[in-house]
Structures are given as structure tokens and as C-alpha cells.
Chain A
Amino acid sequence: MSEKYFLKENMEKNVSDYDFSAFKKALKMGQNKVIKEIEDSGLKGRGGAGFPTGFKWKLASQQEADLKYFICNGDEGEPGTFKDRLLMEDSPVKVLEGIMIGAFAVGASQGYIYIRGEYAKPIKIFNKIIKEAKKEQVLGENIFGSDFSFEMKLIKGAGAYVCGDETSLINSIEGHRGISRIKPPYPIEKGLFDKPTVVNNVETLSCAAEIINQGSDTYNELGTENSRGTKLVCLSGDINEPGVYEVEFGSMTIREIIQEFGKGIKNNKELKFVIPGGISTSILSNDKIDIPYTYEDIEKAESSLGSGALIVVAKGHDLIDLMLNASRFYMDETCGTCFPCREGNRQVHHMLKKAMGKGIDHNKTELIKDIGKTIRLASRCGLGQSSLNFIGSVIDEYPNELLIGGVDNG
């Protein structure tokens, strides 16, 4: 099997070499048809939450306002995820085109691309792209002779994972602390500087550009009923060939992806489990990965496709060490606003640290699960709600291994 190129087509790095055919097509189609086309394609947000993109655009286009904002979320922070980086580095002009199509569709005249601060190369590239686009009059007044005018700025993130959450990202652009906002109001009603705002992921917008370019019919031929098109899968962990691979939804099982693209497990070890959507998602043990790679099949297996980060874990790792690693990440990255997330992740980290090298007793694993339930049900944003998915699922799957005196028995 080989990769299915849909997104990886028409990768271009220079504005002057790109013809913006999808955007020009969008201008001709008009706002409503563009939105309809994206709705028909069934495209879901690729940042992790999977919200239908066309529906978001439709709601935003219906907002009455003197000014609307369109933001491209390039704050790719989910551990194990690096597909937006690939798009921003190798296909930046298509990302720009996606932003322009979205902005045109919802009637936004100002836009931002928010790129995580550690992504030095994408930042450099987008600085250049925006400059070039202004020079070539791809950004500015009456683009390509149309009524549509659009300005864009680049914002560098300051290294907070939570700013990948759209309301935190908006706070960050406004110069406030990177903390989530209470919803409602949702950004499409009252977002950046209190104006209607759409926030879309880099991959989502690249998809949107390609959908307009090739048509939703072409797109619909790919994938399954509920998971249309293709997905960039970030394959990492104990495999021989990590990388970003474009996979047509439903065409391969998780194991096939690992075997075909990842070329199997490193050092001929046995696979223990995979984390199918970044460390905010629950693990799938070796016996559960013979399922098609789709949103629905992974959900049926009680996990989530998330951002498309497929982390493969072989036998032989200290599970508490893995959990501690994840826990340290969430403890550091919780924004500190809502109590369950801040205090819960702190306590879980504390308990795992104490258990390192020794194992953990049953009362403590029960406590961690209670804390996990509390955080999931009561915290404000996606970061908190999903912060103990990985740890909780490891406890559920390997209860005996974690116990004091327990051994790795596969």
C-alpha cells in the first residue's frame, strides 16, 4: 500500500509560483457556494475536536458585524503531532490559500496565523509568505480584482500548550494570559476583540483549499461516510520509520499503517499499545488495533483519533515512567485557572513521582481515576477534560503491572 496523495498534492513554497486556482474559483463561486461545498465535503476540524468545518463557516457567515476575524491555528502542541509543521514548511502557500478561502466565505477582512513559538522554520517561512503575498497583491485591497479585501498578521505563540485551545489562543493574541474563556459566547459570536471569529487548524484549511480545487465530489470518493477524505497521520514512537503519512480514511487498519508506513517495530520488539490521537487520548492495546483508521472505529474502541498523532509503544517500557512523563506535561501546561485541572494534575504527578521505581498501590490508582473523572467532568476546556485519558487508560488496561511488585507481563 502507498500513501493517498490529496493534501500532499500541489505543494508549493513560493507565492509567485502559485496560481491560487482554488481561491480564484472560490471568488467566482461566491460565499454561499463555497460554504455549501465545504459542508458537502463533510470536512471535520483536524485540530483534534473534529467540529464540522462547513457548519462553523456557515454560522460565522450569518453573524452581522462590522468586522470579522479569521485565524489559522498553527499552535501545534499535542505531543506526537507534527503534521501542521509539515504543511507550514512544505506547503505554506496552500495554507495561505485555505485561510483566504475561509475568510472570504465567512466575510472576514482581517486574519492571523498563530504559530507555536518553537516552530522557528514555519515562522520564518510565513513571515516571508505574508511579505510576498502583500507584494504580489494576493493580500490587501480588492484581491484579484474582486470586492474581497484581506489583511493578515503572524503571531508567535509563547510556548503554552493551552493556546492551541481556540479561546486561549484568542486571549493570547489580545495580549492576555493564555487561559480558556467561558463558553458561550463562542468565538463565532464574540471572539477576538469581541468580534465574530473563526479559528481553523492548518490541516483543515489546507484540506478546504484542496476541496475547492478538486471539488467535494472528488473528496467524497475518499474515505468513509463519517470520515471523509484523507488524514495526515503523525507516526512516531518505537517504529522504524517515523514520519507524516497521508492515509485515506478507512483504507487501512491501524496495524497496517504501522507495518506499511512505519516499517514495523524497532529492534524487532513486540507492540504493546498505541496512542491513536496524541497523549490526550486513551491507549489501544495490541489486540485492539486491527480496526480501520476512521473517526468512528477509533471512537468505538473508546478512544479518539484526535489530531492524528499515532504513537506506537513497544513492550519493555516502564509504564509508570511513561505516565509520569505525560503527567509532567499536563502539570506544566495546565493554565492554572480551573481548580480540578490545576490541582488534579499536580496531585497525580506527585503520586506518580513517588511511585517511580516502586510501583503504585491500588488505593492510589483508584484515587487517580477519581481525580481523572473529576477533571474530565468538571474542568473548563479540552486540555483539562482530556488530560488524564492516557493515564487512566493505562491503569485500566494494565492494573496488575502497575502494582507494587508488579511485573511487565505483556
Chain B
Amino acid sequence: MVKLEIDGQKIEVEEGTTILEASKKAHIKIPTLCYEENLSIFGGCRLCVVEIEGEDNLKPSCATMVQEGMVVQTHSPTVREVRKNLFELIIASHDIDCNLNCLTCSRSQNCDLREIAADIGVTEIRVPPLDKGYDVDESSFSIVREPNKCITCGRCIRKCEEIQGVGIFTTANRGPSTIVTTFEDKGIGNVECTNCGQCILACPTGALHEVYHYENVWDALHDKDKHVVVQTAPATRVAIAEPFGAEPGTVATGQMVAALRRLGFDKVFDTNFTADLTIMEEGTELIERINNEGTLPLFTSCSPGWIKFIEHQYPEYLDHVSSCKSPQQMFGAVAKSYYAEQHNIDKDDLVVVSIMPCTAKKFEAVRDEMKEDVDYSLTTRELSRMIKQAGIDIMNLEDEDYDQLLGVSSGAADIFGSSGGVMEAALRTAYEIITGTELDNIDFNNVRGLEGLKEGSVVINDMEIKVAVANGLGNARILLEKMKNGEEYHFIEFMACPGGCIGGGGQPLPASNEILEKRMEAIYDIDKNKKLRKSHENPMIKKIYEEYLGEPGGHKSHELLHTHYKERGI
């Protein structure tokens, strides 16, 4: 342990602690911009500098380790002056101009720079804003980049490289021309971006945001000739309350349904329904592959960021990926066939909107293989914008239920929103279908939690099924490399985002580890409190097979619910 003094408080911390971490323990907030938990230390923004007794220069607290007897001042007059000056310079490089573009920024509601400005107590900006004159990168179906707002803190670069193991961003040029860009400045849509949107969560400014679809959705809602239905992904219900000031982990399923009705959606359905359907299809596929010596392990296919990752990086493993469409796409396919037929709605008049914790879903929705299924995919953040635009006081609405029949789901579907959930849901069903006996304990705790890599095994009819779960694409890569080195599994769940969909790139900001944990707890609470907790017991799933689809893995299912992938190269 190391003893030191910070702002007059004597504290004791472990060796190897940074001054920033030690200050946090002493309940002192030091402003940071380029620092982010989980990422390597960059030490570029210098906002976190502190004064250390005996040192001539100020030191970045994020990159300076505590030492025995150190006397630190985190907010001395010099430090405050330097931070103010520094902040003036940062703001001048951030494309704020007379067009009030602060108001139209994607981060107008939760801007890190504004928060820091308030903390520092910035009272004047003496340096003129500089027009950097870069073009907006609109090459991607999922993500927009506005380089003029970028302050080159490098968080997106590190997130993509260190956490996701993809690395589409890099720093180019030097001096004030230093920019963050993609390989040969090709644009996000033309490199091996997986569209996961983790860079958006990392960005402290509005330089990165999703491609907005909500204006199109407003148009559809106001078009009297259109019948507009909406589906909500599992992870949205534990996050939608956050932009309205609720504590992270607040479950707002019923209020979200009520808000969606008020926005004018004709039917409010649940992606959970098709999550249950996915389990039936994917479970059947797993059983078939095991029984018929098919390609194993089977890889899940729900996460479109993961799918694009494997298409670029590990195309040799594409045979392993389940042919099941993701729940979003299954929903679109079922809505545009079964639902449209049942209600005599012309397919051309039916608009399917999805609310997703995800930016990659926008890309998935326009994939050639299935681009008719879903018309618009909105992030949780976009939905919160629409609710605000409509003046709906969501947190004071009475709970409402989803519409029948595409709105009925089991707890197994809810846990799709969290890393390990698809695996657990599949095991609940596969076990009972194969053995014909009921599980004593349906909680598979070893695949739960925020850990990046989880493994476990289940004995089904004397056969040991080895399973693994990876969340975050960096971990996906580790697992695939393990397989290359001979590790064997039967079934692997892959999710592009750390923590699974609860930590998706379309979720509200901020998204710290602590917030992810609370969302995860909320997801498992929903499951625990449901009577219906296994996909194959969902009565509406049974009904749709009886009335329309036939049997899991059957002809009709294959036509509607399955797809294929392609090698994309690097």
C-alpha cells in the first residue's frame, strides 16, 4: 500500500494505482477527455493534469502512478488556470460556430465537453473557433462521422483496436492536421467496419453517431396509407428509461409500449417473440448438426456486428454460423408474411420498424439477402429522441401490454439482451426437447456475467455438450484462435458488443461498466419474474408453427427464417 496526500486528504491506495484512480477513491472528480476505463492510457488531452509537490511541470493524473509520500493538488490555482486555458483551445478546435450547431449535435443532450466546461467553470472563450473544413463521412449504412467535431482524443481508435480487435480507425498526418480517419481515407462504409457502434459510445463529442432513420419513421407514422408496426429488442427495455433521468437498470417495458402507441404505431410487437422463434430454429439446427455429424461448433447469428466481423476476418468459419436470421429479421419476415396475410394488409403498405440497442442492425436491414424484411431500424437513442420530440412523459405513463400475437414471449427471449442469454435460452430448450424431461434448474449461471469469455458444459443424454460465450469482438477473435489451436466446442454464442446487446452501440450514453452491470441485472430480473421462461413453451410460438410455419427447420421456416452469408475480405 502507498500513502499519499491528495488535496489535503491523507489516503492509502494500492501500489500501481494512478493519481486519477486514487482521487476517485478520495471522492475527487478530475476532468478527463481521452481517458476511458477499459482502454489503454493515451495521456493526450492533458485536462487531468495535477500539481505534484517538487515537480516543475504538471503531470497527467491518468498516466502518473502514486508514490509514497506524494503530495498532490488536483485543483490548485495553477491547475485551474491551465485547465481553463486548455479547454478554450479544445473548444476552438471543435467546430462550434454561429450556426448554433451545438443545438443540432447528436450529443446536445449529453455532451461530455459541456459537462467538463461546467466543472472547470469556463467563463470566456478568447480563441476563435477554427473551421477545419473536413467532409462528413456518410459512407456507412450504420455510422456517420463528422471529423470537424473530432478532437482526436483517440478513444474510438483504441476502442475499435483494443476492445473489438478490428482497428478500422487510425491517426493520420501531424500537427494541427492530425486527424482520425480510416485506411486511405476510404470511409467507414468501405473498410472492414462491423458497424458495432462501440466507437460512438467511446466518443466524448458528437463526431460519431448513427445514421438516423427516425425522420423516415415519422413520415411513415404520418402517412395514413401505411400500416406501421414496431418491434422492440430485448435490451431496449432496460435502457430506454435512462435518457429520461431514471436510474440505470430501470425496467420500462410497459411504459415503452405505451409510448410507442402514443407515437402512433398501429401495432406494438416484441422482437422477443422472434427471439423465442430463433431458439426453436437454432435449437433444431444444433440438434440436427449433432445428430447428423454436421459442422460443429455451431455459431450463433443474432449479432450483425459479429456476422460482418466473421465475414471479413474469418470467412473460413462461415460454415459454422447458424443459418437462422437474427430475431430482427425473423420478425420482419413473419410480419410481412404471416401477419400481413392474417390481417389482409397489402405488403407494400406495411412498414416494419425495429427499436434496437444496435447500430449494426441498420446495416443488417439492408443486406441483399433479406432487405425486404425490415424497413427502418432505430437505436434506443433514436427512440428516446422521438419520445422527447412528441412531448411524451414516458416515465409517468401507465404500463401497457404488447399486441397479440407477435408480442408474446418467454423469459428466455428477454435474456437475449445480455451476453450468455442466447446460449442459456438455447440450452433450456435443447435439453428438454432432446431428453423429454424437465430441467431441475433452468439458470445456467456459468454463462452469465460481463466477463468477455465464458465456458461451460452441459450433459444431455450422456453427451457432454461443450459451450462457450464471447462478447466483444476482441474476445471473439481470441476464441476463434483457440479453436484454430484445436480447442473443441459444440455451440458458441458470439456477441459483437461488450456485455452483449445491453452494451450495444445504439444504447443510451453514458455506458460505463457500472451501468452495463445494472442493465444486466435488470434483464435477469425480468426473466426471473416471468412465469413463461422457456421458448418452446411459448403458446404463440406453438400456434405459429401449427397455423403457418409447420415445423422448426421445415420448408416454410427455411424460406422465411433462414439466410446465408458471404466472404468479404480485408
Taking a contact as CB atoms under 8 Å apart, the answer to whether A346 and B176 are in contact is: yes
Closest to A178 in B: B174
Taking a contact as CB atoms under 8 Å apart, the answer to whether A371 and B85 are in contact is: yes
B160-182 residues at the A interface, CB under 8 angstroms: 171, 173-178
Taking a contact as CB atoms under 8 Å apart, the answer to whether A374 and B86 are in contact is: yes
CB B204 to nearest CB in A, in angstroms, measures 12
- Given A182-B63, A350-B128, A370-B85, are A376 and B57 also a contact pair (CB < 8 Å)? yes
> CB-CB < 8 A to B60: which residues of A?
182, 380
User: Is A340 interfacial (CB 8 A cutoff)?
Assistant: yes
A360-392 residues at the B interface, CB under 8 angstroms: 363, 367, 370-371, 373-374, 376-380, 385
> CB-CB < 8 A to B126: which residues of A?
363, 367
User: Is A177 interfacial (CB 8 A cutoff)?
Assistant: yes
Taking a contact as CB atoms under 8 Å apart, the answer to whether B175 and A378 are in contact is: no
> CB-CB < 8 A to A61: which residues of B?
none
* Chain-A contact segment, one of B43-51, B279-287, B334-342: B43-51
Report how many residues on chain B are interfacial, defined by Cβ distance under 8 Å: 36
User: Is A200 interfacial (CB 8 A cutoff)?
Assistant: no
* Chain-B contact segment, one of A40-48, A117-125, A327-335, A398-406: A327-335
- Given A337-B44, A380-B46, are A342 and B176 also a contact pair (CB < 8 Å)? yes
B84-127 residues at the A interface, CB under 8 angstroms: 85-86, 89-90, 92-93, 126-127
CB B385 to nearest CB in A, in angstroms, measures 31
Taking a contact as CB atoms under 8 Å apart, the answer to whether A338 and B46 are in contact is: yes
- Given A350-B128, A379-B46, A380-B46, are A182 and B174 also a contact pair (CB < 8 Å)? no
> CB-CB < 8 A to B86: which residues of A?
339-340, 374, 378
Taking a contact as CB atoms under 8 Å apart, the answer to whether B82 and A339 are in contact is: no
Taking a contact as CB atoms under 8 Å apart, the answer to whether A340 and B89 are in contact is: yes
Closest to B65 in A: A184
A106-162 residues at the B interface, CB under 8 angstroms: 160, 162
Taking a contact as CB atoms under 8 Å apart, the answer to whether B130 and A346 are in contact is: yes
CA distance A177 to B175 in the complex (A): 12
The 0/1 profile, CB within 8 Å of B marked 1, for residues 191-229 of chain A is: 000000000000000000000000000000000000000
CB B79 to nearest CB in A, in angstroms, measures 9
CA distance A351 to B274 in the complex (A): 61
Taking a contact as CB atoms under 8 Å apart, the answer to whether B49 and A343 are in contact is: no
Give the residue of B42, B47, B89 whose beta carbon is less than 8 angstroms from that of A344.
B89
Taking a contact as CB atoms under 8 Å apart, the answer to whether A339 and B89 are in contact is: yes
The 0/1 profile, CB within 8 Å of A marked 1, for residues 29-58 of chain B is: 000010000000111111101000000011
CB A328 to nearest CB in B, in angstroms, measures 10
Taking a contact as CB atoms under 8 Å apart, the answer to whether B173 and A336 are in contact is: yes
User: Is B152 interfacial (CB 8 A cutoff)?
Assistant: yes
Taking a contact as CB atoms under 8 Å apart, the answer to whether B41 and A182 are in contact is: yes
User: Is A347 interfacial (CB 8 A cutoff)?
Assistant: yes
User: Is A345 interfacial (CB 8 A cutoff)?
Assistant: yes
- Given A339-B45, A367-B127, are A177 and B171 also a contact pair (CB < 8 Å)? yes
Interface band, chain A: 35 or more
> CB-CB < 8 A to B374: which residues of A?
none
Taking a contact as CB atoms under 8 Å apart, the answer to whether A160 and B90 are in contact is: no
- Given A347-B92, A373-B82, A377-B78, are A336 and B58 also a contact pair (CB < 8 Å)? no
Taking a contact as CB atoms under 8 Å apart, the answer to whether B178 and A336 are in contact is: yes
User: Is B151 interfacial (CB 8 A cutoff)?
Assistant: yes
Give the residue of A177, A335, A350, A378 whose beta carbon is less than 8 angstroms from that of B46.
A378
CA distance A182 to B48 in the complex (A): 14
Give the residue of B63, B65, B175 whose beta carbon is less than 8 angstroms from that of A342.
B175
Taking a contact as CB atoms under 8 Å apart, the answer to whether A378 and B82 are in contact is: yes
Taking a contact as CB atoms under 8 Å apart, the answer to whether B174 and A339 are in contact is: no
CA distance A336 to B42 in the complex (A): 12
Give the residue of B33, B45, B127, B177 whose beta carbon is less than 8 angstroms from that of A336.
B177
- Given A377-B57, A378-B49, A378-B82, are A339 and B151 also a contact pair (CB < 8 Å)? yes
> CB-CB < 8 A to A373: which residues of B?
81-82, 85
Taking a contact as CB atoms under 8 Å apart, the answer to whether A332 and B175 are in contact is: yes
- Given A343-B90, A347-B127, are A334 and B175 also a contact pair (CB < 8 Å)? yes
CA distance A344 to B177 in the complex (A): 13
Closest to A162 in B: B174
Taking a contact as CB atoms under 8 Å apart, the answer to whether A343 and B171 are in contact is: no
CB B454 to nearest CB in A, in angstroms, measures 32
Closest to B85 in A: A374
> CB-CB < 8 A to B90: which residues of A?
339, 343
> CB-CB < 8 A to B151: which residues of A?
339
Most buried by B among A335, A367, A377: A377
- Given A350-B130, A374-B86, A380-B43, are A343 and B174 also a contact pair (CB < 8 Å)? no
Taking a contact as CB atoms under 8 Å apart, the answer to whether B57 and A378 are in contact is: yes
CA distance A335 to B177 in the complex (A): 10
> CB-CB < 8 A to B152: which residues of A?
336, 342
> CB-CB < 8 A to A178: which residues of B?
174
Taking a contact as CB atoms under 8 Å apart, the answer to whether A345 and B176 are in contact is: yes
Give the residue of A160, A344, A377 whose beta carbon is less than 8 angstroms from that of B58.
A377
Taking a contact as CB atoms under 8 Å apart, the answer to whether A182 and B175 are in contact is: no
CA distance A42 to B93 in the complex (A): 46
Closest to B63 in A: A182
> CB-CB < 8 A to B49: which residues of A?
377-378
CA distance A307 to B49 in the complex (A): 29
Closest to A349 in B: B176
CB B149 to nearest CB in A, in angstroms, measures 14
- Given A177-B171, A377-B57, A378-B57, are A342 and B43 also a contact pair (CB < 8 Å)? no
CA distance A320 to B63 in the complex (A): 37
Interchain residue pairs with CB less than 8 A apart (29):
A160-B174, A162-B174, A178-B174, A182-B63, A333-B174, A335-B175, A336-B176, A337-B44, A337-B178, A338-B43, A338-B46, A339-B33, A339-B47, A339-B90, A339-B151, A340-B46, A343-B90, A347-B127, A350-B128, A370-B85, A371-B85, A374-B81, A374-B85, A374-B86, A374-B89, A376-B57, A378-B57, A378-B86, A380-B46
| Chain B residues packing against A (C-beta within 8 Å) | 33, 41-47, 49, 57-58, 60, 63, 65, 78, 81-82, 85-86, 89-90, 92-93, 126-128, 130, 151-152, 171, 173-178
Contacts A336-B171, A339-B90 known; list 19 others, CB within 8 Å: A178-B174, A182-B60, A333-B175, A336-B176, A337-B42, A337-B44, A339-B33, A339-B44, A339-B47, A340-B85, A344-B89, A345-B175, A346-B130, A363-B126, A370-B85, A371-B85, A377-B78, A378-B49, A380-B60
- Which 9 pairs across A and B sit closest by C-beta, in order of nearness? A336-B178, A343-B89, A346-B176, A374-B85, A378-B46, A182-B63, A377-B58, A182-B43, A378-B49
